[in-house]
Amino acid sequence: MYEHGHDMLDVAKSIIKDYKKIVTQTYLEWLTVFMDTDEYKEPINKYIELSKLLKDENDKDKWIELLDQISELEDRNKNIKK
């Protein structure tokens, strides 16, 4: 479908341009306020922390444990119950 990387970049730019047309100022204001809440910041910070630990972990069992914690965090974000 795409022969060159710049083709995908052009598509991505056009998608962003289209989305900018439908995003309302009210939504952007809500999003700005939401991104400043602990409800948003805590899971993001935990995800970043776990990802950094995972990157440098060499112990297989600990690596699996960290990966499980990341999966659990992602599932909570999607409101998925295990």
3-state secondary structure 26-63: HHHHHHHHHCCCHHHHHHHHHHHHHHHHHHHCCCHHHH
Domain definitions of the chain by residue range = 1-36, 38-77
pLDDT on residue 29: 92
Contact 70, 63 (CB under 8 A): no
Read off the pLDDT of residues 21-63 as tens digits, 9 standing for 90 and up.
787 889 889 989 999 999 889 989 999 999 999 989 999 999 9
Torsion angles phi and psi, residue 79, rounded to 5: 60, 40
pLDDT of residue 64: 95
Q: What is the CA radius of gyration of the chain?
A: 18
- The predicted pLDDT at position 8 comes to 74
Q: Flag whether pLDDT at 76 surpasses 90.
A: no
Report whether 42 contacts 76 (CB < 8 A).
no
pTM of the model: 0.59
Task: Enumerate long-range contacts of 39-44, CB under 8 Å, 24 or more apart.
Answer: 43/73, 43/76, 43/77
